[in-house]
Chain A
Amino acid sequence: MSLGHQLIKEQLFFRKELKERVFWFIKLRWIAIAGAALCSYALFFLEPGLPVFPMIILILGVAFYNILFLFTWLRLKSFPSERVRPFEIFAHIQIVFDLVAYLFFIFLTGGIQSPFLIFVIFHIILAGILLSPVSCFIISGLVVLIFAGLMALEHTTGLPRPPGFFQNTLLTGDLEFPGALFVFLILAAFILISAFLTTSIKLSLRVKGRELLKVSKALEISNAKLMTLYEMVKEMGSLYDLQKLMDTATRNSAVITGVKGCSIKLLDEKREKFSSSYGLSEDDIAKEAINSKKEGMAAVMCLPLKVKTLLLGDICFYSEAPLFFDAEDKVFFSLIADLTALGIETINRELNKSWFLAKAAHQLRSPMNAIHTMLDMLQKGFQGPVSEKQKETLNRCNTRIKLLGDMIHDLLKIGMRRTETNHSGVLPVDITLLLQKLTDLYSPRALEKNITLTLQTAADIPRIYADEQLLDDLFSNLISNALKYTPEKGEVRIAVSMEDHCRIKFQISDTGIGIPEEDLPNLFSEFFRSENARAFTENGTGLGLVIVKEALDILKGTMAIESTLGQGTCFTCRFPVGSASRQPPLCR
């Protein structure tokens, strides 16, 4: 099979090209027919002696078979591009029909001396473009033979020639040997060189096209790899659990690179164990080593997981194909390793940061808790009776200590919140359930003050994707505030409902002391407390509403406050049911 054929068969691109060219050929023929008809019409007036009638017959014949070709094309059009054969046959038929029509045309316009003899070049070029190189050369050879035959016939039998209007300037006079042979050889060379040039150019173009296809395919593959890598990094960015992050990395890395398995080992106290693995058998994971024979692993590549000079561990890729990894792959695999290392380090840093704050909270609270418990013990008479005056002092100590505890708690809470970067919830939060829990939690405090605490939840509250801790901070601070600033026998009402299907409306109203209007602008400033609040209770840090405001800002919510001094306050918070990507379509 010729190279041209192979190329046509192999590449869908060229198959499509053949399909398109076959139709283009039919269209081109209409132009030729129109041109020939126009010329014949003009000649009818200019040279009445010319054989215009046979010419018209020829034109009608070509038009007729072109109509047939058009119908054939319409039928072939629905054939899948992979089926090349019918199009090849169709192209050959067209070329042969045109060759016959052309020869008839030559005969009518002066035989071997027709000035249209030179038009053979178009035929050869078209055959070169449309057919395989072999077919093109066969057609060209055939043309040369026909011309030789025509010359011989005209010379020996005196084939009748049309009138001399069309006398070819190249081939004037009688065709005598050896002059005629010389002319014929030039003609033959002209035809064959044209065929050669056309097929060579076409082949060279196809080779280039093939290379282009290869490059484009390679680009497509690396684009797909990079897209998957991007998705992996995106997924890793949304995680704040180290194990989940490593599992995502090993799973995606194996899928992207097409290897059988992937593992991560971290340099920690469990350094001998796989921290995460994908595609490895339970047995290997348990033994912490790969049984390459049993697993059919033929190649392995391990790369360090490091961020700058900090070595975190290693990531290994296992392939069933021997010599799977080459130098080029190393660049891409290193990219995966670096991105994974960066993800691990980011989570580690976050963990260290939040652990530091958690430990700081613990260390600050420990001595305070001990003092608190000792005071409690004294006050409750565990070490003997306490006088009323002593009890009162101990009570004061307890209150102040508790305030100090609250202050530490709130400060650390704000510190923690401001250092956290990831607030997106991964699990849906049931607000109704959360509020029920908080109401239960605060019920004893309400009972102490004889306050009626009620919770009213609408039935259509959806679960929302948000950081549950943020919602907890928001609700618990507002509930605790309401209970704190409501006198005994008062009322605190909590209500949650949906607003336009996109937002949740949380409302907490109390029959408390109220907020002076002039204090409203300062309400969310750190350590601010209204005069009346200070007078009512010293038990307040001035940080609760700061926490509320910051939580609400992260939740992208809004707040409205209505308050009447001495009658009560109503806080109304509105926040979307999910982060931007998890919003219902209508709410985006």
Chain B
Amino acid sequence: MRKVLVLNEKDNIAVCLVEMAIGEVIGQDGLNLTIQSLIPRGHKVATSPIAKNEGIIKYGERMGHATTDIKVGEHVHTHNVLGDRLSTEQVV
């Protein structure tokens, strides 16, 4: 069974289809990465290194940016990502 879903080849994240434990190895769809943090089902894992302020790409589209450097295999979520669009946003 597939553990992650890659939605678009331009993406730098994949969606986890099962909960991921630290140390788990993903070797499908040309990926070769080791999970660095506990990732709940349905959440995103970085499939490329993402630098601070770089875009998070899902469906081949930019859905926000990194607020810190993100390593391959790390959980990508609200603790390290902010949306781009909202005028009220304060980048920390």
Are A and B subunits of one complex?
no
Q: Which residues of B does A touch, CB under 8 Å? A: none
